[in-house]
Amino acid sequence: MEKPFIFINSAMSADGKLSTKERKQVRISGKLDFERVDELRAQADAIMVGIGTVLSDDPSLTVKSQERRAARKVAGKDENPARIIVDSSARTPLDADIFKKGEGTRIIAVSNSAPAEKVRKLEEKAVVIRTGTEKVDLEKLVRKLKEMGINTLMVEGGATLNWGMLSAGLVDEIYTFVGNLIIGGKTAPTFTDGEGFTEAELLGLELLSAKKIENGILLKWKVKKRN
Ligand SMILES: NC(=O)c1ccc[n+]([C@@H]2O[C@H](COP(=O)([O-])OP(=O)(O)OC[C@H]3O[C@@H](n4cnc5c(N)ncnc54)[C@H](O)[C@@H]3O)[C@@H](O)[C@H]2O)c1
Ligand SMILES: Nc1nc(=O)c(N)c(NC[C@H](O)[C@H](O)[C@H](O)COP(=O)(O)O)[nH]1
């Protein structure tokens, strides 16, 4: 299948959580790790998050460094990569930060069951892509993104979207930054939620590198292809 190169970047606690049981964002990364994330954003053609992340964190998903934005301009690109929200029911608030901050394309991926009136309003602010009946069809979505010229796609969570992309076999590499804290709570989002694999379905990884950054560790993984 023709698809972009797809990698996930997430920061998790030492016990594998992405945020608290109230789905409140916590600072897991230190300054250097946020710099690394900014560099990854600047190199990507698009950044994708799930609607759960938009509703809980309201991220802007912009490139933070002025130098990196300027370098993108010199290379003939928009200051920010395309920002994509996977949002089956078109719940993205019309005043979400991704619409307010920075230049660049916004893409909202909805399913065919998303309410028409809300989709029309989103179309005034973003490119809307419809796939799937009840839930966005991630495979069709990434194929469409490739056709639109997106060759490198950075997925920044959250837990449910990570599962959707991994279980569909769409992810090439993963960066997990493991920070020096414990969050706990069986309902707190983990790196991968969703329904989970059976023993026969487990996804294998190859460790590409491990590096200490401040008080945490950055792991880079390659996802093994299933036969
Ligand atoms: N630490 C980090 O690096 C990091 C990064 C991002 C988010 N987070 C945290 O993760 C939490 C949000 O995660 P979440 O799991 O609630 O939401 P999410 O961001 O993973 O979004 C999930 C939504 O994506 C949509 N979706 C549509 N089609 C899908 C498909 N085919 N497969 C999967 N999802 C599909 C669904 O509407 C689903 O509700 C927040 O608490 C946020 O703070 C942490
Ligand atoms: N890399 C990273 N380290 C963390 O410690 C942490 N809490 C997140 N969390 C991801 C977060 O949920 C947001 O989605 C975006 O990182 C916000 O992006 P903006 O700054 O608004 O562009 N990500």
Centroid of ligand 1 to alpha carbon of 164 (angstroms): 9
pLDDT of residue 227: 67
| DSSP-derived pairing of the beta strands 173-178 and 106-110 | unpaired
150 has pLDDT over 70 = yes
Q: Which residues line ligand 1 (CB under 6 A)?
A: 10-11, 18-19, 23, 25, 28, 49-53, 56-57, 86-88, 135-136, 138, 156-161, 164, 189, 193
Contact of 3 with 149, CB cutoff 8 Å: no
Query: Residue 102 region, left (φ>0) first, then alpha (ψ -120 to 50), else beta?
Result: left
Centroid of ligand 1 to alpha carbon of 58 (angstroms): 12
Q: Ligand 2 pocket check: which of 40, 57, 62 to mutate, most ligand atoms within 8 Å of Cβ?
A: 57
Please name each of the domains of the chain with its CATH number: 5-223 (3.40.430.10)
- Report ipTM (2 d.p.): 0.97
> Residue 36: is it exposed, middle or buried by C-beta count within 10 angstroms (0-12/13-18/19+)?
middle
Least distant ligand from the CA of 139 = 1
Centroid of ligand 2 to alpha carbon of 154 (angstroms): 13
Contact of 67 with 86, CB cutoff 8 Å: no
Least distant ligand from the CA of 191 = 1
Query: What confidence tier does 226 reach under pLDDT thresholds 50, 70, 90?
Result: confident
Determine the Cα–Cα distance for residues 183 and 24; give it in Å rounded to an integer.
11
- In this predicted model, what pLDDT tens digit does every residue of 73-110 receive, in sequence order? 999 999 999 999 999 999 999 999 999 999 999 999 99
Contact of 14 with 177, CB cutoff 8 Å: no
Query: What confidence tier does 1 reach under pLDDT thresholds 50, 70, 90?
Result: confident
Contact of 196 with 29, CB cutoff 8 Å: no
